[in-house]
Amino acid sequence: MDDQLIEIEENNPHTAITSYSGYIYQGKIALLHCLRLIEQQPTESRTLKLQIESIEDFAILTTDNTCKSLHQVKARKDRLFSDYRPDVEKLRDKANFHEDSEPFFHVSLPLRLIPSTFTSDYSPITFYQYFDTNDNSVDHCPLESVDIFIEHQMNKVYQVLFPDEEYRTNNDYLLKSRQFLEDIIIKHVIDVHREIQQSSATGSVQREVAASRNIEFNEIYEVLTENLNDRALDESYFHYLLLKDAGIYFHAYCQKLGVNEENTLLKLNYYFSKFNALDRSSLTKFIRAIVPHKKVGFNNISQYKDNTFNLDDFKSGLLKVLDQMAQSEFEKLT
């Protein structure tokens, strides 16, 4: 690797410890982009791979590990372009070393005061263009809209892959498809983040951990081609569904932290990596502890789908725990 590129990546590792709170959103955006590639190139895309938290927040690789595209994902509450300028500059510098790749900058909110010279100043970077449910192009994807965007994109994929199988495009089936596909990607993201967060390794070693665990597009195709009505929802499915919901609440909590609370964010990310490491039995016990009035009727994770479990209770209980962790003394333990 070029010495200058090594220096750039060592100074800006994309397994950034302070940015983990957006990992669920990041995984959803990665899925959305993968689905768009499948719609555009249903045959060729089978050979691609999704890489998360190594070269960039996520990247698309070819069979020979050439970088097809680089993606930096920001789910912050900042609204001014100037707040993102350092990140854009770093992505531009990195893109210069991956000359054949397309670099995209993703934001969850519309940015103000983007300079008129953006194209010339930051080429080849472009702001990622999403499509709403009316297929209008938009330059941002709000957190509350990403699931809708994914299901709309999935609808288009099914129309390309299975134009005669209308059942795949009904709303319930699209929801089920999104959840099973997210299970692949979010599980991967959670596992990589947990491994890095609980490791003493830094820099290039962190990137090696992430780079060694790519997701083949064929895994996505397997879900897309299966009749998901025949697939049972087991304990493992609900396990990661709960972790995913917890990650969404965790991200919202971290967004409320002030700009001078980086140490608190570091602490919370480490503690949350421990939460993500809980097995199904331990996760059930944890949830029963934070929603004690729901003990009856929540004896295993499969009951997550039942009306006896209220997500608002889970969210409220988890936020109380996060408040307690934020105020606690922190000593990182192995």
- Summarised one tens digit per residue, pLDDT across range 48-87 is 999 987 888 899 999 998 999 999 999 888 889 999 999 9
Domain with 24 in it: 3-172
In a domain, 141, yes or no: yes
Determine the pLDDT at residue 256. 82
Q: Do residue 273 and residue 167 come from a single domain? A: no
Beta carbons of 79 and 111 less than 8 angstroms apart: yes
Q: Do residue 290 and residue 163 come from a single domain? A: no
Q: Do residue 268 and residue 151 come from a single domain? A: no
Helix, strand, coil fractions of the chain, as percent rounded to 5: 60, 10, 30
* Mean of the per-residue pLDDT values of the chain: 83
In a domain, 114, yes or no: yes
Beta carbons of 37 and 17 less than 8 angstroms apart: no
Q: How many domains does the chain have?
A: 2
DSSP 83: G
Q: Is the confidence at residue 248, as pLDDT, over 60? A: yes
Q: Do residue 124 and residue 255 come from a single domain? A: no
In a domain, 44, yes or no: yes
In a domain, 183, yes or no: no
Min mean pLDDT across 14-18, 47-51, 148-152, 175-179 is at: 14-18
Over range 195-216, report the average pLDDT: 67
The token pair at 73 is: 């994902």
Q: Do residue 138 and residue 251 come from a single domain? A: no
Determine the pLDDT at residue 18. 37
Question: Is residue 292 reached through a cis peptide bond, with omega within 30 degrees of 0 on the bond before it?
Answer: no
Output phi, psi for 227, to 5 deg: -85, 100
Over range 265-269, report the average pLDDT: 82
Give me the helix-helix angle, 203-211 and 171-197, nearest 10°: 150
Q: Do residue 92 and residue 168 come from a single domain? A: yes
DSSP 106: E
Q: Do residue 20 and residue 91 come from a single domain? A: yes
In a domain, 177, yes or no: no
In a domain, 259, yes or no: yes
In angstroms, rounded to a whole number, what is the distance separating the alpha carbons of residues 256 and 101?
A: 35
In a domain, 7, yes or no: yes
Contacts of 296 (CB under 8 A, 6+ apart): 308
Cα–Cα separations (whole angstroms), residue 160 to 36, 146, 225? 11, 21, 12
Contacts of 95 (CB under 8 A, 6+ apart): 70, 101, 103, 124, 125
Min mean pLDDT across 159-168, 170-179, 202-211, 283-292 is at: 202-211
In a domain, 334, yes or no: no
